[in-house]
Amino acid sequence: MKKWAMVVDVAKCENCNNCFLSCKDEHVGNEFPGYAAAQPIHGHRWIDIYRTERGQVPMVEPAAMPAMCNQCDNAPCIKAAKDSAVYKRPDGIVIIDPDKAQGQRELVESCPYGSIWWNEEKQLPQKWIFDAHLLDKGWKEPRCVQVCPTGALQSIKVEDSQLSNLVEEEQLEVLSPEHGTGPRVFYKNLHLFTKCFVGGSVAAEIGDYEECVEGASVALLKDQRVLSSDKTDHFGNFKFDMLEPDSGKYQVKVERTGFSAQQVEVELVESVYVGTIRLEAGVEA
Ligand code: SF4
Ligand code: SF4
């Protein structure tokens, strides 16, 4: 049986908030019996956007990441619910029954992702329902996918085997896999949130001016072992990405024919711009 899943490409998210707003537009003041009671106008973010930035001026990378109920296959909210108030549909979507879940405040805490919100007025736990009410009417995708201008959100309905292949082929990740809940929301380019980079620029005195050095060989080393190598671009910049935060000391070694070699030491806590590494002309590397 085919089931729904979502693929979020963090690199494509422009932080426009359309997905968040489409969820508000769909649910605030609107009752969908059997699916979800109306969402309050304030306080709930069934689809939320997280934001971060990596690096320092002039090498700064902002990123935005939408997050929502993961429609988990091993959902703690289902286990925590009394009277089967939370259940998984055959198509993979997890629903909090708006009648049975009345008063079950403990469900808010049962979700390790913080995706369940408490409706004080209705005394009801609530969350994003993958627009199951629309899909059941024949919609081909949830509203958030429909309104996303960059294609950062992609809903798919696939067999488990197809999903496994896709995850492997595209190296998709889930948020906080250590929770072991089997999320059905997958992420591309999650490293923009979870990993670090070491970046910098290379320059040299050439004639009367300091110029960017293009095409310099830059190596990233750890314990004198080369982990990765790069060439500086037209602006003399280099960047090594996908590094673990708080991963200790690294060395950046720069070489360019006709210039002296330079090496700088980096203690990697979070993404870092090491500044401009200046080469001395006239001394062979
Ligand atoms: S609509 Fe798309 S681009 Fe805009 S915030 Fe949501 S995921 Fe990002
Ligand atoms: S993300 Fe939270 S609310 Fe959604 S299915 Fe998983 S445990 Fe339940």
What are the tens digits of pLDDT across the range 178-222? Answer: 999 999 999 999 999 999 999 999 999 888 889 999 999 999 999
What are the tens digits of pLDDT across the range 81-96? Answer: 999 999 999 999 999 9
- Confirm or reject: Cβ of 142 under 6 Å from ligand 1: no
At 195 the pLDDT is 97
What are the tens digits of pLDDT across the range 46-64? Answer: 999 999 999 999 999 999 9
Pocket of ligand 2 from Cβ distances under 6 Å: 69-72, 75-77, 94, 111, 113, 115-116, 127, 181
Phi-psi region of 242 (alpha: psi -120 to 50; beta: other; left: phi over 0): left
Taking the domains of the chain in order of start, what are their residue ranges? 3-193, 196-279
Best probe residue, ligand 2, of 106, 117, 181 (max atoms within 8 Å of C-beta): 181
Nearest 5°: the CA angle 267, 272, 278 is: 90
- Confirm or reject: Cβ of 150 under 6 Å from ligand 1: yes
For ligand 1, what atom is nearest to the CA of residue 66? 7
What are the tens digits of pLDDT across the range 229-279? Answer: 999 999 999 999 999 999 999 999 999 998 989 999 999 999 999 999 999
- Report the nearest-CA residue for atom 8 of ligand 2: 77
At 207 the pLDDT is 82
Best probe residue, ligand 2, of 8, 97, 115 (max atoms within 8 Å of C-beta): 115
* Confidence band of 285 (pLDDT split at 50, 70, 90): very low
- Report the nearest-CA residue for atom 7 of ligand 2: 111
- Confirm or reject: Cβ of 18 under 6 Å from ligand 1: yes
Best probe residue, ligand 2, of 4, 45, 48, 69 (max atoms within 8 Å of C-beta): 69
Average pLDDT on 115-139 reads 98
This prediction's pTM: 0.93
Q: What's the 13 CA to ligand 2 centre distance in angstroms?
A: 22
For ligand 2, what atom is nearest to the CA of residue 71? 5
At 130 the pLDDT is 98
**Domain spanning 3-193: CATH 3.30.70.20:** yes
Residue 224, pLDDT above cutoff 90: no
Superfamily of 196-279 according to CATH: Immunoglobulins (2.60.40.10)
Q: What's the 106 CA to ligand 1 centre distance in angstroms?
A: 30
What are the tens digits of pLDDT across the range 4-45? Answer: 999 999 999 999 999 999 999 999 999 999 999 999 999 999
- Report the nearest-CA residue for atom 4 of ligand 1: 16
Residue 284, pLDDT above cutoff 90: no
